C-alpha cells in the first residue's frame, strides 16, 4: 500500500482553473510542499481552448509547451519546472476515484491516499456521448469527441490517415462550429448535422446564425439541420462509413466528430455537497456547503451578482477568474480578512476560419441586429444587442477590434438605458463606442 501523502491545499483536477489557482497560490505566498495538484491528464495545466483551434490545424500546428497556462491571458507559461520552483507537487496521470470530505481524504485509482486541509475541486466537464442518448453503433472506430489532449491527438492522427476524406460533425454548438472550420482548413469534405433550426441556439439569434451558416456554406461546408445522428454503419474493420440520420438519410463518413454538450464532473462529491443547476453550489467566494471545500470553473454554480441568480458557466474566462477568487478567499480567511464578492460579467468568445466574435453580458430579452452580416462581405462586421426592461444587457460582436470589444464589454456591465430600439439598431456600435 502506497504511503499516505498530506498537503495543506489540494486541487483536484489539472485543467484551466487548476493552473490559474496554482498561480494565485504562488502569488499569495506558498511554502514548499503545501500545495498539490492531482490530475488524471498526463501533462501540466494547459489552455484547453487551443485544442479546438491551433492544436488541430495540421498545416500550422500549435503544440505544447506553447499553450501551458497562463499563456491564454498573456501570463507566464507554467512549465513543469515552474511547479518545481514554486514547491508545488504536480501529480499527473493520477485519477481520484473517491473523495471522503468528512475525513478530508482522497483516494486515487491506484489506491494512493491523499489528505488535505483545504480542497479546491476543479474537475471540469466531460463530454456528453451519443450512447447517453441510446444511439447505436456510436462506439465504432473513428468517432471522436474532444475534451482533453489525448482526444485531440487521436483526432489529429485520424485526420492524417483519412486525409482529404469525408468528415461528419454532429452538433451545432461550440465544438461543432470550431471543429467544422478546422476540418475544412485541413482539406476534408465536411457536413454538419444538428437538430435545431439554426446553429448555436443557446447564444445565437437567427440573425447571427444566418451569417455563420452562410459563411460556412460558402466555404463548402454542407449543413443538415433539423435532424440527429440515429446510428452508424461500419466496415469490416469496425470503422465508421456512414452516419444514419433520424430522418432516414445517410451521410458518408471517414471520420465523425461529436460535440453534443458537456456535463460537470461532480460524481466524486455526490451526496456530500449541496448541488444546484447540475453543479456544486457555492457562495461568492466559491465555498461549497462543506467547510474547507471550494469548487471552481465548470463545476461551480455560483451567485451571478449582476443578474441576482445562481449560474454555472462553462467558459475559460470564468474558469480563470473563479480560481483566482477562490484562492484569494482561502488566503484572506486564513489571515482573518475578507475580500469583495465575485462579480462576474459573462464573457464568451470563439474563433473559426478568419472569424472572431466576442459576447458579454446576458442573452435574454429583445434583440437588435446591427452592422454588415452579409457572409460574402470582404470584412464582415456585425453584432447584436439584447435589451431587457429598457436597458442594454448583452452585446455580441463579430470582427471587432480591441477597442470595440472593450466598448461592448463596458456597455454590458453598465447596462445603459435604450430609449429607442430603432435608433439603437441604426447607431449599432457607435451607441456603445460613445458611452
Ligand atoms: P478543465 O476541463 O479545464 O479541467 C478539468 C481537469 O480535471 C482535467 O484535467 C480533467 O482531466 C481533470 N479531472 C477530472 N476528474 C478528475 C479526477 N477524478 N481526478 C483527477 N483529475 C480529474 N471556453 C472559452 O471561453 N473559449 C474557448 O474558445 C473555449 N474552447 C474550448 C475548446 C475545447 C476543445 C473545450 C473542451 C473547451 C473549450 N472552452 C472554451 C471551455 C473551457 O476550456 C472550459 O470552460 C474550461 O477549461 C473549464 O476549466 P476547468 O478547470 O473547470 O475544467
Ligand atoms: P454546446 O452545448 O455548445 O452544443 C451542443 C450542441 O449539440 C447543440 O447546439 C446541438 O446542436 C447539438 N445537439 C444536442 N443533441 C444532439 C443530438 N442528439 N444530435 C446532434 N446534435 C445534438 O456543446 P459543445 O459544442 O459540445 O461544447 C462542449 C463544451 O465545450 C461546452 O462546455 C462548451 O462551452 C465548451 N467549448 C467552448 C468553446 C468556446 O467557448 N469557444 C469552444 C469549444 C468548446
244-295 tens-digit pLDDT: 999 999 999 999 999 999 999 999 999 999 999 999 999 999 999 999 999 9
Write phi, then psi, for 126 (nearest 5 degrees).
-120, 160
**Is 54 within 8 Å of 28 (Cβ atoms)?**
no
Which ligand approaches the C-alpha of residue 125 most closely?
A: 1
Sheet harboring 143-144: ordered strands across? 143-144, 255-258, 166-170, 189-194, 222-225
pLDDT of residue 423: 92
Q: Are residues 73 and 172 in the same domain?
A: no
Q: Are residues 135 and 214 in the same domain?
A: yes
Give me the CATH number covering residue 59: 3.50.50.60
Which ligand approaches the C-alpha of residue 14 most closely?
A: 1
**Is 130 within 8 Å of 260 (Cβ atoms)?**
yes
- 44 alpha carbon – ligand 2 mean position (Å): 25
pLDDT of residue 1: 59
Structurally, how many domains does the chain consist of?
Answer: 3
pTM, two decimal places = 0.98
Q: Are residues 158 and 50 in the same domain?
A: no
Residue ranges with strand state E in 275-424 = 275-276, 279-281, 293-295, 300-304, 309-312, 347-352, 355-361, 366-372, 381-388, 391-398
391 domain residue, yes or no = yes
Which ligand approaches the C-alpha of residue 16 most closely?
A: 1
Atom index in ligand 1 nearest the CA of residue 125 equals 2
Give me the CATH number covering residue 397: 3.30.390.30
Distance in angstroms (rounded) separating the CA atoms of residues 176 and 295 = 28
pLDDT of residue 22: 98
Q: Are residues 373 and 280 in the same domain?
A: no
Distance in angstroms (rounded) separating the CA atoms of residues 263 and 271 = 17
Q: Are residues 115 and 224 in the same domain?
A: no
Distance in angstroms (rounded) separating the CA atoms of residues 1 and 113 = 9
CA atoms within 13 A on the CB side of 131: 8
Q: Are residues 319 and 423 in the same domain?
A: no
- The preferred substitution site among 50, 124, 149 for testing ligand 1, maximizing ligand atoms within 8 Å of CB, is 124
Q: Are residues 116 and 134 in the same domain?
A: no
Q: Are residues 255 and 287 in the same domain?
A: no
Atom index in ligand 1 nearest the CA of residue 38 equals 20
CA atoms within 13 A on the CB side of 332: 13
C-alpha cell at 27: 502569488
Atom index in ligand 2 nearest the CA of residue 260 equals 7
Q: Are residues 300 and 408 in the same domain?
A: no
Strands 355-361 and 366-372, bridge-based pairing: unpaired
Ramachandran sector of residue 209 (left: φ over 0; alpha: ψ -120 to 50; beta: rest): alpha
Q: Which of 335, 364, 387 is the last residue of a domain?
A: 335
Element (H, E) at 229: strand 229-234
Which ligand approaches the C-alpha of residue 346 most closely?
A: 1
Ramachandran sector of residue 27 (left: φ over 0; alpha: ψ -120 to 50; beta: rest): alpha
pLDDT of residue 434: 83
- 173 alpha carbon – ligand 2 mean position (Å): 4
Q: Which of 335, 366, 393 is the last residue of a domain?
A: 335
Atom index in ligand 1 nearest the CA of residue 319 equals 49
Write phi, then psi, for 388 (nearest 5 degrees).
-135, 135
Q: Are residues 252 and 268 in the same domain?
A: no
Kindly list the protein residues whose Cβ atom lies closer than 6 A to any atom of ligand 2: 52, 125, 133, 170-176, 178, 194-196, 201-202, 228-229, 259-262, 314-315, 348, 350
For residues 196-218, one letter each, b for 16 or more C-beta atoms within 10 angstroms of the residue's C-beta and e for the rest, the string is eebbbeebbbebbbbbbbbbbee
- The preferred substitution site among 175, 230, 298, 357 for testing ligand 2, maximizing ligand atoms within 8 Å of CB, is 175
- The preferred substitution site among 18, 45, 49, 177 for testing ligand 1, maximizing ligand atoms within 8 Å of CB, is 49
Kindly list the protein residues whose Cβ atom lies closer than 6 A to any atom of ligand 1: 12-18, 38-41, 48-49, 51-52, 95-96, 122-125, 146-148, 265, 268, 297-298, 314-317, 319, 348-350
Write phi, then psi, for 271 (nearest 5 degrees).
80, -5
Q: Are residues 241 and 167 in the same domain?
A: yes
Q: Which of 260, 291, 317 is the last residue of a domain?
A: 260
Interface confidence (ipTM) of the complex:
0.98
Which ligand approaches the C-alpha of residue 53 most closely?
A: 1
- 177 alpha carbon – ligand 2 mean position (Å): 9
In which residue are the cell numbers 482548413 written? 185
- Residue ranges, the chain, pLDDT below 50: none
* Residue range(s) defining the domain that contains residue 213: 130-260
404 domain residue, yes or no = yes
- 323 alpha carbon – ligand 1 mean position (Å): 13
**Is 431 within 8 Å of 408 (Cβ atoms)?**
no
Taking Cα atoms as reference points, which of 81, 45, 38 lies closest to residue 320?
A: 45
Amino acid at each position: 500500500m502506497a504511503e499516505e501523502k498530506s498537503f495543506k491545499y489540494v486541487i483536484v483536477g489539472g485543467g484551466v482553473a487548476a493552473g490559474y489557482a496554482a498561480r494565485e497560490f504562488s502569488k499569495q505566498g506558498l511554502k514548499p510542499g503545501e500545495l498539490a495538484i492531482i490530475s488524471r491528464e498526463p501533462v501540466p495545466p494547459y489552455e484547453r481552448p487551443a485544442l479546438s483551434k491551433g492544436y488541430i490545424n495540421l498545416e500550422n500546428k500549435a503544440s505544447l509547451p506553447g499553450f501551458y497556462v497562463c499563456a491564454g491571458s498573456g501570463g507566464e507559461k507554467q512549465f513543469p519546472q515552474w511547479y518545481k520552483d514554486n514547491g508545488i507537487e504536480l501529480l499527473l496521470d493520477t485519477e481520484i476515484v473517491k473523495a471522503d470530505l468528512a475525513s478530508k481524504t482522497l483516494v486515487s485509482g491506484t489506491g494512493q491516499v491523499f489528505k488535505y486541509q483545504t480542497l479546491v475541486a476543479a474537475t471540469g466537464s466531460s463530454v456528453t456521448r451519443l450512447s447517453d442518448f441510446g444511439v447505436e453503433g456510436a462506439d465504432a472506430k473513428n468517432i471522436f469527441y474532444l475534451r482533453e489532449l489525448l482526444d485531440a491527438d487521436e483526432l489529429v492522427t485520424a485526420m492524417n490517415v483519412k486525409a482529404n476524406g469525408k468528415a461528419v460533425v454532429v452538433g451545432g454548438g461550440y465544438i461543432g462550429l470550431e471543429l467544422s472550420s478546422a476540418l475544412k482548413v485541413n482539406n476534408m469534405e465536411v457536413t454538419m448535422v444538428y437538430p435545431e433550426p439554426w446553429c448555436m441556439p443557446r447564444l445565437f439569434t437567427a440573425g447571427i446564425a444566418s451569417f455563420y451558416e452562410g459563411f460556412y456554406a460558402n466555404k463548402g461546408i454542407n449543413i443538415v439541420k433539423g435532424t440527429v445522428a440515429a446510428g452508424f454503419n461500419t466496415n469490416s474493420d469496425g470503422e465508421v462509413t456512414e452516419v444514419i440520420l433520424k430522418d432516414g438519410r445517410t451521410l458518408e463518413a471517414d471520420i465523425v466528430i461529436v460535440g453534443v454538450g458537456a456535463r460537470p464532473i461532480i460524481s466524486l462529491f455526490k451526496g456530500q455537497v449541496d448541488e444546484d443547476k447540475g453543479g456544486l453550489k457555492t457562495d461568492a467566494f466559491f465555498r461549497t456547503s462543506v467547510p474547507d471545500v471550494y469548487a471552481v470553473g465548470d463545476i461551480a454554480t455560483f451567485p451571478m451578482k449582476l443578474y441576482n441568480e445562481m449560474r454555472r458557466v462553462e467558459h475559460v474566462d470564468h474558469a480563470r477568474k473563479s480560481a483566482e477568487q477562490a484562492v484569494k478567499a482561502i488566503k484572506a480567511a486564513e489571515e482573518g480578512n475578507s475580500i469583495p464578492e465575485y462579480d462576474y460579467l459573462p464573457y464568451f468568445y470563439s474563433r473559426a476560419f478568419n472569424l472572431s466574435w466576442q459576447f458579454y453580458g446576458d442573452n435574454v430579452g429583445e434583440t437588435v441586429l446591427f452592422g454588415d452580416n452579409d457572409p460574402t462581405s470582404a470584412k464582415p462586421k456585425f453584432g447584436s444587442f439584447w435589451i431587457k426592461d429598457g436597458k442594454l444587457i448583452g452585446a455580441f460582436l463579430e470582427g471587432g477590434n480591441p477597442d470595440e470589444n472593450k466598448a461592448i464589454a463596458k456597455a454590458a456591465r453598465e447596462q445603459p438605458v435604450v430609449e429607442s430600439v430603432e435608433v439603437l439598431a441604426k447607431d449599432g456600435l457607435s451607441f456603445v463606442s460613445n458611452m
